[in-house]
Amino acid sequence: MKRVLSLILLAAILISVTACQKPEEDAQTLESTAPGTETVPPEEETGKLPPETDMPAETSEAPGSADGIDWSGIYTEFISAEFDELQESFLGGIAGVAFIDLDIDDTPEMVMFDLGASASMGVQIFDIIGGAVECISANMSTVGDVFGGDNFSQVYVNCNFFTDFRLMESASGERFFIVESGNGAIDFTYKELITFGLANNGSVTLEQVLYKYSEYDEDGNETAARYEAGRVSCTAEEFTSGYDAFFADNEDLGYEAAGRFFLEDKAYSQDYDGIMAMVEDAISAYVRID
Ligand SMILES: [Ca+2]
């Protein structure tokens, strides 16, 4: 009798597992037919890895198709395929998305703000390396752990707006992006000047130029501070003169990076459809650097 019951139980479990799988398959079909992803089936469906280099442009309308890499298709497919893991690793949610060509190689990086509650917002930066999307820098270690690879940087960004990423030009005519990163709480603040560059393998790089860390007592008085220039300890005077010299030597070109925040333009939901709509709008908002 016990054995019969066990068999019935096993059959019931199998039926419920099969029943559970069905909606998931349907959901996957839905995801794989999301805008911009229809011609690249998810890896698990075909068992084949996507082509590693020179992915052909899929449609003539997609932004980025003109320069050879269908970056909008690659990022959209990545978010679609990895949506559950992205949502899980971002914990509180994805607050905003922008596409900014931080290393000026004509393929924008994907910049994602998290919903963490602090003085400024955490930034996650993704790049396309060898045709695949990889996390390069992450304020949230959960995102770096899941999506970071060989090119993952220990430098991470906290800021508030996409326009905090500034396109600069040096006296010798070299153009590069910077961000003034920082965060704080009641008892500390930090401020960091970061420059972006391009590695030989095409990955965006982050370099800490200047750094200041301050501690405060209950009355808000600074009780301790330490300074670094190029990761080497320096004095407050050297920090200030280095900061002034940087902005005297390099000119802000006035480029305004554009993206979408989930509550700014319209209330994008934090589910699949909402995030995909925010990403699509951020792709449309991308401003190519001349
Ligand atoms: Ca780039």
Report CA Rg, the chain: 23
Distance 65 CA to ligand 1 centre (A): 14
Distance 253 CA to ligand 1 centre (A): 18
Distance 86 CA to ligand 1 centre (A): 21
Distance 202 CA to ligand 1 centre (A): 8
Q: Is 245 helix (H, G, I), strand (E, B) or coil?
A: helix
Distance 102 CA to ligand 1 centre (A): 5
Distance 126 CA to ligand 1 centre (A): 10
Distance 220 CA to ligand 1 centre (A): 41
Averaged pLDDT in 10-residue chunks for the chain of 290 residues: 40 38 36 36 40 44 60 98 95 93 97 86 96 97 96 96 97 98 94 97 97 96 96 97 98 97 84 95 95
What is the spatial distance between Cα 209 and Cα 242, in angstroms, rounded to a whole number?
9
Structure tokens at 208: 């800490």
| Structural domain spans, the chain | 29-39+51-285
Alpha carbon of 44 to those of 47, 50, 60, 198: distances in Å? Answer: 5, 11, 27, 32
Burial class (CB in 10 A: 0-12, 13-18, 19+), 14: exposed
Distance 24 CA to ligand 1 centre (A): 35
Burial class (CB in 10 A: 0-12, 13-18, 19+), 60: exposed
pLDDT of residue 264: 78
Q: Which of 81, 180, 74, 55 is nearest to 128 (CA)?
A: 74
Q: Please count the other Cβ atoms lying within 10 Å of the Cβ belonging to residue 187.
A: 12
Distance 229 CA to ligand 1 centre (A): 26
Angle at 160 between CA 126 and CA 181, to 5 degrees: 70
pLDDT of residue 142: 96
Q: How far apart are the first and last CA of the chain?
A: 78
Q: What is the DSSP letter of 154?
A: S
Distance 112 CA to ligand 1 centre (A): 15
Distance 32 CA to ligand 1 centre (A): 26
pLDDT of residue 132: 96
Distance 10 CA to ligand 1 centre (A): 53
Q: SS3 letters for 262-289?
A: CCCCCCCCCCHHHHHHHHHHHHHHCCCC
Sign of CA dihedral 77, 78, 81, 87: negative
Distance 166 CA to ligand 1 centre (A): 14
pLDDT of residue 246: 98
Q: Please count the other Cβ atoms lying within 10 Å of the Cβ belonging to residue 240.
A: 14
pLDDT of residue 67: 53
pLDDT of residue 53: 44
What is the spatial distance between Cα 118 and Cα 14, in angstroms, rounded to a whole number?
46
Residues in the chain: 290
Distance 197 CA to ligand 1 centre (A): 9
Structure tokens at 1: 């009798």
